[in-house]
């Protein structure tokens, strides 16, 4: 039971999350041609600098700034992980409720990412939110925060950006069903 629990956890943590982000980046790129053009431009410049046989290197990943902003805006609106659990280490008061020390709490990614105080017009897909210094600390938390923050985040970034690079430089696509609904299971899937 212990081994199977660990394996399922690993599959969820590594596969569901990354594949969900990639899926929704493709969805948003199909919906916003202006965003798609900028991603394509950035990725074509990198592809041209490498030639047909050149492999992507770590330095190339660092150049994919706009594409990563698009990935971040995707994770803001459709976060792969909906939150995790924490334990109150002291008595705290939040929104008029007292939470005693030792209680377990669930912190929620979706509502944090849709707070209009930090993300004006929160429902709008706008990758420019991540330009410059980007959102304030702990307002954008797709990978969590603090000592238990996702240890796979840099690997996930490289994987997502490499995948998007190869897709946009080879294919153009459109949504088959423009009214496709999103289900949460627990990561979002079409
Ligand atoms: C886009 C992809 C991913 C997202 C959005 C994501 C998100 C998260 C979140 C929200 C947490 C909880 C953090 C917290 O409690 O503060 C977490 C934990 C974790 N993630 Fe990821 N993750 C992703 C990819 C990965 C990958 C690729 C790996 C491994 C290769 C991984 C391994 C882990 C592990 C082991 C934990 C538990 C860390 C701990 O409790 O100390 N994740 N992840």
Q: For the CA atoms of 186, 19, 70, 82, what is the dihedral angle to 10 degrees?
A: 20
Q: 156 C-alpha vs ligand 1 centroid, how far in Å?
A: 9
Q: What are phi and psi for residue 180, nearest 5 degrees?
A: -50, 130
- Chain centroid offset of residue 116 CA: 19
**pLDDT tens-digit readout, 48-64:** 998 777 899 999 999 99
Q: What's the rounded mean pLDDT across residues 121-125? A: 98
Tell me which of 110, 137, 140, 152 to substitute to probe ligand 1's pocket, judged by most ligand atoms within 8 Å of the beta carbon: 152
Distance 142 CA to ligand 1 centre (A): 9
Does the pLDDT value for residue 178 go beyond 90? no
Nearest CA to ligand 1 atom 30: 152
**Per-residue model confidence as pLDDT tens digits over 58-84:** 999 999 999 999 999 999 999 999 999
Q: According to CATH, what is the number of the domain 2-189? A: 1.10.630.10
**pLDDT at residue 53, rounded to an integer:** 77
Look at residue 150 in the predicted model and tell me its pLDDT: 95
- Mean pLDDT, the chain, whole residue set: 95
CA distance 172 to 154: 27
Answer yes or no: is pLDDT of 113 > 90: yes
């Amino acid at each position: 039971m212990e081994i199977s629990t660990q394996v399922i956890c690993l599959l969820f943590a590594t596969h569901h999350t990354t594949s969900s982000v990639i899926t929704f980046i493709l969805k948003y790129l199909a919906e916003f041609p202006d965003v798609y053009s900028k991603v394509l431009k950035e990725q074509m410049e990198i592809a041209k600098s490498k030639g047909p046989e050149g492999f992507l290197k770590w330095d190339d990943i660092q150049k994919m700034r706009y594409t990563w902003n698009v990935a971040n805006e995707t994770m803001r609106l459709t976060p792969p992980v909906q939150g995790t659990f924490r334990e109150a280490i002291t008595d705290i008061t939040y929104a008029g409720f007292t939470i005693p020390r030792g209680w377990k709490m669930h912190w929620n990614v979706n509502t944090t990412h849709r707070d209009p105080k930090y993300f004006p017009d929160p429902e709008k897909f706008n990758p420019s939110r991540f330009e410059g210094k980007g959102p304030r600390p702990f307002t954008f938390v797709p990978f969590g925060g603090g000592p238990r923050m996702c240890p796979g985040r840099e690997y996930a970034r490289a994987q997502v950006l490499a995948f998007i690079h190869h897709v946009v430089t080879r294919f153009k696509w459109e949504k088959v069903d423009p009214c496709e609904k999103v289900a949460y299971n627990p990561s979002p899937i079409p």
